[in-house]
A and B are shown apart, each in its own frame.
Chain A
Amino acid sequence: MDLTEATLAEIRDAVRAKRVKAVEVVAHFQRRIETLDNQLNSFITVNPRAMEEATQIDAILASGRDPGPLAGVPIAVKDLLCTKNLATTAASNILRGFVPPYSATVVKRLQAAGAVILGKTNLDEFGMGSSNENSAFGVCRNPWALDHVPGGSSGGTAAAVAARLAPAGIGTDTGGSIRQPASFCGLVGIKPTYGRVSRFGIVSYASSLDQAGPMARTAQDCAILLETIAGHDDWDATASMRPVPSWSTDTIPSPKGMRIGVLQEALSEKIDQDTSTVLNTAISTLRQLGAEITEVSIPKLRHAVSIYYLLATSEASSNLARYDGVRYGYRSRKQTSDLESFYAATRSEGFGTEVKRRIMMGTYALSSGYYDAFYLKASQVRRQLRDEYMAAFAQCDVILSPVTTSPAFKIGARISDPLEMYLNDIFTTSANLAGLPAIAVPGGFAESGLPIGLQFTANHFDEHNLFRVATALEQALPLVKKVPHVI
């Protein structure tokens, strides 16, 4: 069995049928990480107990019991999810060496299903970034072109899965952090409906926007993972009570009769030629497959980036207040005479530049005298944006747009210009703001050979429509056959 190219579903089936041992699977990917990750820097921590856990899965299988639907599948987990007894850093110096005494609900559910956590992947510090350049553990590289960024913030998971260092992984998405790196690395990545997946144990960036989701090479693998991690959780008051459908088995792989709205605002943005070509190919392919192509408009989309950076930073400024050096994490060694300078020293030294920038922006937006003009106004426009989406979904089942205006950029190209970097998020942030599920699927390649993704957005809890259109497109455009050259 070619474990490198095998999908998550194939590995699972093979392990469950005892055609391959879980320990062999884990050993295979551990070897790949060891030999290839020095080029990518996609893992911050490799799980030293992965083999032990795989051995247990094999033992359960040998005894005739069921180790679960993800038996022996190695998973790369973004280092923003807490893992019991395994360091969790959020790619920040302020949490360097922090070992949580509990696991995120997502991690618990993966392990309960028999998956093995392979390691913790690189990211932009606290999820704040679109390039994985804001990491206290170094830049992560794109396996399709090592001098390019893998995207962010879930850049480590994207790079690892694209380079076949893991068959699949978990990312989190606050403004595009699953979809944009999935697109930059030629993967499928889904941000579920807000509330679909428990946030418990996931280091919070912006609570009203954060969602964890799967990243893999096929839509079906994403469906399998999402089924495992989704569903209500008593530890998260914002987790939905909705039952979780069986997307992996119930998806119809045809868009026949689906109404696909092409986002008009996307066409008026400055999209590069390659992205535009990929978008048009997808439209004609879907039309040929029997989908009904319409046009939809979300006029408030032009405010999405502004609203996003006001609300996300406001929530972040509050969510990151707990990193104060008092109970855990980094504490400055500087001699300080009072509490305020103690906090200032610890936080100035512990946080990176981008995190500090966002804390300051958010603190400002919530300050007395500015709250109404910034936080409150942004919240109001957010509701209007959501209303516009609701109106659009009266006319179509999914909305099609690019993920970004252009494919992956070179490392260092945008890091000195935050505004340029923020505009990267123009098509992705609105799904978070409106709480909608959205998927990035491979759409094609640029002249340069870099992958280009497409984004579909659906109504709340309509993930089935995303899996349907993604599966259909995946079968019509067999892009997975192409592999990044780092392999």
Chain B
Amino acid sequence: MSFDHFDAVIGLEIHAQLLTESKIFCRDSTHFGAGDNENICPVCTGMPGSLPVLNRQAVEFSIKTGLALNCDIRRQSVFARKQYFYPDLPKGYQISQYDRPLCENGHVDFLVDGQMRRVSIVRAHMEEDAGKSTHHGDYSLINLNRAGIPLLEIVSGPDLRSAREAAEYARAVRNILRYLGVCDGNLEEGSLRCDVNVSVRPKGQKELGTKVEIKNINSFRFIEKAIEYEIHRQIDCVLNREAIVQETRLYDADKNRTFTMRTKEDAHDYRYFPDPDLLPLTVEEAWIERMRATLPELPLAMATRFVRDFQLPEYDAFLLTQERELADYFERTNRACGNPKAASNWVMTEVLRNLNETGKTILEVPVPAEHLGRMIRMIDTGVISGKIAKTVFGEMWTSGQEPDAIVKDKGLVQITDVASLERVIDQTLAENAANLEAYRSGKDKLFGFFVGQVMKATKGQASPEVVNELLKKKMQR
């Protein structure tokens, strides 16, 4: 047997920090960047007698996410205590949802290399984040600002079959969360965290292999690489007749390998039980419908619409809808020019390239979509040439000026006037009589030379179409 004889089975647990104003069970701010232990109170520090009270906004964000992930929303879900001792867990338990989560039985559709894939969502449950420990030699410090930040844990079914698929699924979920505005989806900063479950089995085998969990993966690229590594490691184990140990492993990005964090033997008995400080969460149908009404158009629906309504290639539509702001930018550009293909091309090439080079995000783009749209219109109506447009775009990017003003100030309007172009052509032909003779005796390739000469004489402003037409006519004679 070799590698090709194995299938990988992958499932993801995605923890999303919800962008609520305050924490899930108290009134402290969730704002990032506060000083150490500034956003804390008796509740989130687990002082004696303090009690949790559920944040309504956290519930609404969770319902919206559940609906966007096509989940059933439980009319009654229950908060439970997950108990373990750790210094950054103030109460000695984490309030989470266990056997009755808010969202269940959903799915996510997404594209992998042009193919549509569907992954089941087993559940999405609400919980509180723990604090953050940092270790410094012989002492550790604890910052409880993060303790009590609302999390939604989204658990996929074991439906993914490759590292690439898993990473694309994670991106799809991140994009949905960002479209909903419930999570900023930043893996590096930890506002989105991803745990991966991986097992392998010989092709055709029904039973699942021993599952290994990989934690602490902080980029989409690393999700792919960590899974890739882990699949190979596990297949090697099987081929070498070594047992795969059920365990939790950590991914080391520098070495590109995973290593054991804890094995099942040190697994906790979390002693879950319903939190008696919180009543079951009851969600009325009307509340769910109110939340459904606030759902924005989601990435996949938007991409599908771009293909259907604008005849964009699937790839373009998919790329444009990765970020809601980028898709919005495209739509506004398109609205201003009425040429979706051109709008898409300009956004995907010039706009994205310039953003990349300047390290800006789409929110910081210096060229308003309306300006870009008007510029495309100027191309389409023959006011400027495509070539000139690149100059105009560059100018818009650096100066922020409107395209009309740039074209006017710099005299970039395309010359389409036949009489004045004929004068330039006549002069060019006269100055290059030898070449003209050669062309007429069969050297067709010289046609391009004459086009170039005319363009040069007009500083690129001549309309290429008109020049072509006139040259052909005159050179034939």
Contacts and interface: CB of A to CB of B under 8 A. Distances in A.
Interface string B232-271: 0000000000000000000000000000000000000101
Given A326-B142, A339-B87, A82 B45 contact: no
Given A199-B51, A234-B53, 4 more contacts: A100-B42, A199-B49, A208-B276, A324-B87
Interface string A196-209: 00011111101110
A122 interface: no
Nearest to A321: B92
Given A237-B277, A322-B92, A371-B273, A200 B46 contact: no
Interface residues of A, number: 44
A322 B45 CA distance: 9
A321 B93 CA distance: 8
Contacts of B47: 82, 100-102, 327-328
A315 interface: yes
Given A95-B48, A327-B46, A315 B276 contact: yes
Interface in A443-472: none
Interface in B34-88: 42, 45-54, 81, 83, 85-87
Ranked 9 nearest A-B pairs via Cβ: A321-B92, A207-B276, A208-B276, A366-B271, A201-B49, A322-B46, A203-B48, A368-B269, A237-B53
Given A237-B277, A321-B85, A98 B53 contact: no
Contact of A236 (B46, B51, B87, B142): B51
Contacts of A306: none
Contacts of A371: 271, 273
A321 B83 contact: yes
Chief secondary structure at chain A's binding surface? loop
B269 A367 contact: yes
23 contacts: A88-B48, A100-B48, A102-B42, A102-B47, A199-B49, A207-B275, A207-B277, A236-B51, A236-B53, A238-B277, A238-B279, A318-B93, A318-B273, A320-B92, A321-B85, A321-B92, A322-B92, A324-B87, A324-B92, A328-B47, A340-B85, A363-B271, A366-B271
A44 to B, nearest CB: 15
Contacts of B91: 321-322
Contacts of B52: 237
A118 B81 CA distance: 37
Contacts of A363: 271
Contacts of B271: 317-318, 363, 366-368, 371
Interface string A306-319: 00000000110110
- Chain A CB within 10 Å — which of B92, B93, B279 has the most? B92
B157 interface: no
Interface string A282-326: 000000000000000000000000000000001101101110101
B298 interface: no
A88 B50 CA distance: 14
Interface residues of B, number: 29
B49 A203 contact: yes
Interface string A80-118: 011000001010000100101110100000000000000
B278 A237 contact: yes
A98 B48 CA distance: 10
A318 B81 contact: yes
Given A318-B92, A318-B93, A324-B85, A202 B42 contact: no
B87 A326 contact: yes
Contacts of B45: 327
Interface in B264-308: 269, 271, 273, 275-279
Contacts of A375: 273
A339 B140 CA distance: 11
A375 B273 CA distance: 9
A376 to B, nearest CB: 9
A322 B90 contact: yes
A318 B90 CA distance: 12
A318 B272 CA distance: 10
A317 to B, nearest CB: 8
A318 B82 CA distance: 9
A367 B279 CA distance: 23
A18 to B, nearest CB: 36
A380 to B, nearest CB: 13
Given A234-B53, A366-B273, A82 B48 contact: yes
B272 to A, nearest CB: 8
A234 B26 CA distance: 10
Nearest to B271: A366
A343 interface: yes
Contacts of A320: 92
B310 to A, nearest CB: 50
A201 B49 CA distance: 4
A425 to B, nearest CB: 19
A320 B271 CA distance: 14
Interface string A358-372: 000001001110010
A366 B87 CA distance: 22
Contacts of B277: 204, 207, 237-238
Contacts of B142: 326
